[in-house]
Structures are given as structure tokens and as C-alpha cells.
Amino acid sequence: MPTLNWIGKEAVVRHHKEVPFRLLEPDKKLSHGDPTSGNLIVEGDNLHALKALLPRYAGKVQCIYIDPPYNTGKEGWIYNDNVNSPEISRWLGQTVGKEAEDLSRHDKWLCMMYPRLVLLKQFLSENGVIFISIDDNALPLLLFLLDEIFGKRNQLAVFCWRTEGNFDNQAKVKICHEYVVSYCLKIENFPHPPIIDPAIDSSSKLFRDQIRNTIVKNGPKNPVSPIKLPKGFPANFERGRLTGAKGAWPVFSEEAIIEDGKLVSEVEVSSGWSSKALAEEFIKSGCKPILDGKGQTTYFELVSSGTVEIVKDRKTSSHVVSVLQQKGSTQNTSSALSKMGIKFDYPKPVELLSYLISMIADKEALILDSFAGSGTTAHAVLKQNTEDGGDRKFILVELGKDICKDITAERVRRVAGGYTNAKGEKVEGLGGGFQYCRLSKDPLFDATGAVREDVRFAQLAEFVWFAETGTGFIGKANSPLLGVHQGMAVYLLYNGILKDKSVDGGNVLTASVLALLPPHDGPKVIYAAASRLGAPRLQRERIVFKQTPYALDV
Ligand SMILES: C[S@@+](CC[C@H](N)C(=O)[O-])C[C@H]1O[C@@H](n2cnc3c(N)ncnc32)[C@H](O)[C@@H]1O
């Protein structure tokens, strides 16, 4: 498979590993409503924010949406990643220049995107999906990156979004579309979106909860062959006789008699068939409904016209097309925001985000946007929840300090809590709250690799759990037993969690400390500052000892 190379690639492919773990520091004043609502707004560079969020949310996010700089050469974004590479350090802190003026513009963009996409992937749940807004300018590069990081086979679609706005000014070709590129963590696990494209007419068969088709199909691909319909084969009418019309398919070996909606005795019918293997599986199952390859309940029936039909019960109707239309415009969204008292150029429309979110079957999905801008994603999440009774949560990350505080959080605050618009009218809030967080200035580990002194048990617990299991922490962090992962109990001795002042505040694994630990009948991994237990005892107790902080090299 062809891959893409660029200046700095070698240095950035592992850069996500070098980014230090920082802590999330909540700011009560800037938070809104219930701080435990599960919604978060994080102020800071998403490279660091994602690393800080990973121990809590790895593998738990069903939907990611990002709207990164499109790298048009006009956005004035600044390359700021402290990658250990001489060629990259030259770019540090510089605004990325214009096309033809800055020859490394695309290298910088690729170097910025790569580690962020690698981190984002780690957040996705088994059935998760990422949507990325982009335009023609960077689409080819982005696809190369995504194929490399997510795997080509996991591409869900490259949606073409027909943008709306003022298109009546002259140009050689007026560009009126953008893209939303989407990749799944594992395409086979991504459920059919439970929505039908709004352009579909309500009379369409897509709205029926049953699909019915004849399986009589003649032609070179389906040469004539017999199927034996056993006694008891169902019909969709109560009583009658079928012999098949002259010159029509299927041909009946003898008259078929139907009583009480069932065939009275075996009949052989010959024709070319579609779904013959499935029909034979149905007959083999005693004419009980079976599941087809897509998991749809399927059965077969004789019908009064003398043919055999396949009937599929549809659990959820799903019809998403790759062209997104009538999903609002940035201009209208910008003016809607100004009426709310918020100024932001080029916000994505709430309609677009609501549509993408509604493709996720789980109404309690966690939705992450790490280039949050004006917070459209959170707006769409709150709106969608009000409309369908869902309990989706959002995590937003925004770099600009003032943008995050005065635009992202302020918009979400107004949308959630209500506000008075520019005309002095009261607008009802949609409800919901969020916690506003910043990133700690210092990382979790200091320059010597030791855990910073002010780190609380709960903070290290999240980190240890992630280091050991690669998954987000789900426990309460009120016990040295953090949880059990695939049969292995994970313990942490830190910060006097045992309230044992004897040896190092209970941070050292001794025989007496071991006796105080919540029991687990199986293998255990214990993280502590030191161990006084000998190898035979550790082996007998099925303990793997890991010394903090050295064993925490994630
Ligand atoms: C195109 S805007 C997103 C607009 C957003 N979708 C909306 O509807 O309002 C991109 C945003 O990402 C932010 N951003 C750029 N680089 C970032 C980074 N490294 N970390 C976090 N946010 C970043 C910018 O400040 C900007 O607000």
C-alpha cells in the first residue's frame, strides 16, 4: 500500500508517546450547572489535553468530530509541538505561511495532525467513529494519514457536504462543497446508523418495517433448479391451491394445497432463484425465521400469485447517503451566534453536527471534539438530547484561552442555561452543565521521573489503570484495588490509601500491607514505591510487583 512521506514524519510518528501526562484542573467559576454532568470543556492544546484525558476516556468515546485548520495558507495557525527534531524545532512558534511562500506548509500540517490522530484513535470505543471536516486543499493528505493510522478498510465514507451560502458571484468554478471524512475503529462493529436521509420521500420502501421480494429470478446467473417445499411451508394466505400459471415461473411438480396458511404436503418448485441457500437454510430450520448475513430476521412464504417471497423484518431503518445537503451554513450559524452575543467566524452549522451525531445509535454516546471553536458540537449534543430524550455527553478541547472561556464555554453556557438575545427576548435553555478544566502547568511526573508531590490518589489511579490496561479508568479510586481487568486485579499503593503510617505511609508492599489489601482470587499486579516481599512469596500469591514511577512508562 502506498504511504505518504514528508519532512519530520519520522520524528512525529512516536511523538504522542513523548508528550507528558498533565492533570486536569477544574475551574469552578467557569463551569456551569452540575459539575458531575459528565460534560467537559478543556482549555489547552489538544495534544496535551488528549494525553491528559486518555487515562479516563481511552476506548470510551463512540463519536469524535474534529474541524482542524484546513491548511489553506490563510488561516494563520501556528506550529507549536515541541518535537525532538532539529528540522521541526525551526518551525516552533511560527505562523504557517501562505501557499508558495511557505514550502513546508504541508509538512507542518501533517506533523501537527499525525500525533493528534494517533491519540484520538485511542479514545474510540470498539464501535466508535471519527468524523473530520476538511476541504479540497488537504483532503488527499488527510486520506493518506487516516489510511495509515486507522486502516483503509475502516473508512466509512468520504461525505461530500454541499455547503450553502452566497454562490451568485462569478468564478471560473464556484466551489460549493467540503468533505466530512469518516473512519471507524473497526468498520464491522459500527452499527447501521438509525436514520433515513431526510430527502427520502415518506412513501419509500425504506420506511417499511418489512421488506418483501420474490426469489424467482431467472437468467444466466440463476439457472433453473428445484427447491422442495416441505409440508408446513408457510403461505401468506389462509386457504387455496397453486399450480403456477402456464409459461410462468416457478413450475410446480404438482398442485400445492394450502390450509391454515401452510402447505399441506411437500411440493417441488423449479425456477432460477435468488437467495436459494437462505431458503434452504430456512427449510432446514423447520420453516422457523432465521437471521441473514446482516442479522435481519428472515423467512419465506408462498404467495397467492404463485411465487415464493423472501420477507425480512427490519429492526432499524437505515439510509445514509454520501452527499450531505440542507445541513445549514456557516454564514447563518455565524449570524445566529451574533444574536446570542457570540462572535465567531466560520462555525459549523448545528444541523450538520446534529446529523452526524444522529448516525450514532447509542443515545448515551460520549462525543469528543478536540478543535472545538465556538462549541457547535456541544450545542448539537444538547439539542439532540432534548429532541430524542438522549443522554449523550460531550468533551470539548479548545486551544485559544480567550476563545475557550469567552466563546466555547460561553456559548454552551447560554445554550444550556438560556439567555436573552440581541432583541431582548428570553431564549429557554436546553439544560445540562459542564465542568471547565485547564491543564496543569507541570506534568504528572517531574523532571527526575518521580510522581509530583501534589498528585492525589485518584489522579494517579487513573493513570496506573490506563498504563496497565490501556483502557479508561472506571473505578471510584477509593480503594487500593482499582479494579479487575481480564481476570487480573490491579492495585495501587500510594498516598497512604491504606491509612497505614508504618512503612512509607503504606506505599511499600510488605506482608502486613498485603494482609490489608482487598482480596482477589486470581492474578494481581501491585504498583507501589517498593516491595519487601521475596520472589517466592510474590509467586505464591500470584503477584506481579511494579515499582512506581519507573513501571509507568506509557
Ligand atoms: C475551524 S475552528 C472549529 C470550529 C468549530 N467546528 C465550530 O463549529 O465552531 C478550529 C478551532 O480549533 C482550535 N485549535 C487549533 N489548534 C488547536 C489545538 N492544537 N488544540 C486545540 N484547539 C485548537 C482553533 O483555536 C479554532 O477555534
What domains lie within the chain, and their CATH numbers?
9-198+319-441 (3.40.50.150), 210-313 (no CATH), 444-547 (no CATH)
Cα-to-centroid distance, 341 and ligand 1 (Å) = 19
Distance in angstroms (rounded) separating the CA atoms of residues 54 and 16 = 11
Looking at residue 235, its pLDDT comes to 96
Report yes or no: 272 and 307 within 8 Å, Cβ to Cβ: no
Higher-confidence residue of 535 and 448: namely 535
Instruction: Please choose, from the candidates 284, 317, 311, the residue with its C-alpha nearest in 3D space to the C-alpha of residue 298.
Output: 311
65 lines ligand 1 (CB under 6 A): no
Residues 6+ apart with CB under 8 A from 409: 30, 32, 41, 375, 434, 436
Q: Are 466 and 554 in contact (CB under 8 A)?
A: yes
Q: Is the pLDDT of residue 429 over 90?
A: yes
The 10s digit of each residue's pLDDT in 330-339 is: 999 999 999 9
Give the range among 48-62, 209-223, 355-369 with minimum mean pLDDT: 209-223
Overall average pLDDT of the 444-469 stretch = 89
pTM confidence score: 0.87
H or E element that contains 44: none
Mean pLDDT across 176-190: 97
Q: Which residue has the higher pLDDT, 218 or 309?
A: 309
For residues 109 and 71, is the Cβ–Cβ distance under 8 A? yes
* Ligand 1 centre distance from Cα of residue 423 (Å): 29
Q: What is the pLDDT of residue 274?
A: 94
Ligand 1 pocket test: which of 398, 406, 439 has the largest number of ligand atoms within 8 Å of its C-beta? 398
Q: Which helix H or strand E contains 20, and what residues bound it?
A: none
Residue 399 beta carbon below 6 angstroms from any ligand 1 atom: yes
Q: Which residue has the cell 464501535?
A: 127
| pLDDT of 518 | 94
178 φ, ψ to 5°?
-130, -175
Distances (CA, A) of 81 to 54, 99, 103, 281: 18, 21, 19, 58
Contact between 61 and 368 under an 8 Å Cβ cutoff? The reply is: yes
3 state DSSP class of 439 = strand
Q: How far is the CA of 113 from the centre of ligand 1 (A)?
A: 13
Strands 256-259 and 262-263: antiparallel
| Ligand 1 centroid, distance to 401 Cα (angstroms) | 11
Ligand 1: does its nearest atom lie under 6 Å from the Cβ of 333?
A: no
User: Which pLDDT score, from 0 to 100, does residue 207 have?
Assistant: 85
**148 Cβ inside 6 Å of ligand 1:** no
Q: What is the pLDDT of residues 485-514, one digit of tens each?
A: 999 999 999 987 776 555 566 789 999 899
Q: Is 79 in the pocket of ligand 1 (CB under 6 A)?
A: no
- The DSSP annotation for 405-442 comes to IIIIHHHHHHHHH-EE-TTS-EE------EEEEEEEEE
DSSP 199: T
Looking at residue 502, its pLDDT comes to 55
Ligand 1 contact, 46 CB (< 6 A): yes
Strand partners of residue 3 = none
Is the bond preceding residue 86 a cis peptide, omega within 30 degrees? no
pLDDT at position 405 over 80: yes
Distance 335 CA to ligand 1 centre (A): 19
Q: What is the pLDDT of residues 62-94, one digit of tens each?
A: 999 999 999 988 888 889 998 888 888 889 888
Give the least confident one: 400-404, 419-423, 431-435, 467-471.
Answer: 419-423
Task: Tell me what pLDDT residue 505 has.
Answer: 66
Cell 512558534 belongs to which residue? Answer: 93
Ligand 1 centre distance from Cα of residue 66 (Å): 8
Q: Whose CA is nearest to atom 7 of ligand 1?
A: 347
Phi, psi of 11 (to 5 degrees): -75, -30
For the residues 298-326, what does the mean pLDDT come to? 92
Is any atom of ligand 1 closer than 6 Å to the C-beta of 506?
Answer: no
Residue 119 has pLDDT above 80, yes or no: yes
Query: What residues contact 267, with CB distance under 8 A and at least 6 apart?
Result: 228, 229, 252, 253, 254, 255, 256
**Distance of alpha carbon 210 from alpha carbon 523, whole angstroms:** 50
Phi, psi of 64 (to 5 degrees): -115, 135
Contacts of 155 (CB under 8 A, 6+ apart): 146, 147, 181, 182, 183, 187
Residue type, 266: E
DSSP 404: I
Q: Cα–Cα distances in Å, from 288 out to 161, 165, 259, 466?
A: 44, 54, 18, 46
pLDDT number for residue 500? 59
> Is the omega angle on the peptide bond into residue 234 within 30 degrees of 0, that is, cis?
no
Nearest Cα to Cα of residue 191 among 299, 315, 310, 297: 315
C-alpha cell at 243: 399450480
Tally of CB atoms within 10 A around 544: 14
Element (H, E) at 213: strand 210-214
Alpha-carbon dihedral sign for residues 214, 216, 219, 223 = positive
Task: Between 204 and 26, name the one with better pLDDT.
Answer: 26
User: Which residue among 399, 404, 406 has the greatest number of ligand 1 atoms within 8 angstroms of its CB, and so is best to mutate?
Assistant: 399
Is residue 99 scored above 80 in pLDDT?
no
Residue 423: pLDDT band with limits 50, 70, 90: confident
Residue with cell 441457500: 277
Atom 2 of ligand 1 has which residue's CA nearest to it? 373
Most confidently predicted of 109-123, 314-328, 460-474 = 109-123
CA distance 310 to 301: 7
Choice from 72, 371, 383, 438 to test ligand 1 binding pocket (greatest atom count within 8 A of CB): 371
CA-to-CA distance for 393 and 297, rounded, in angstroms?
33
508: CA distance to ligand 1 center in Å?
45
* Cβ of residue 400 lying under 6 Å from some atom of ligand 1: yes
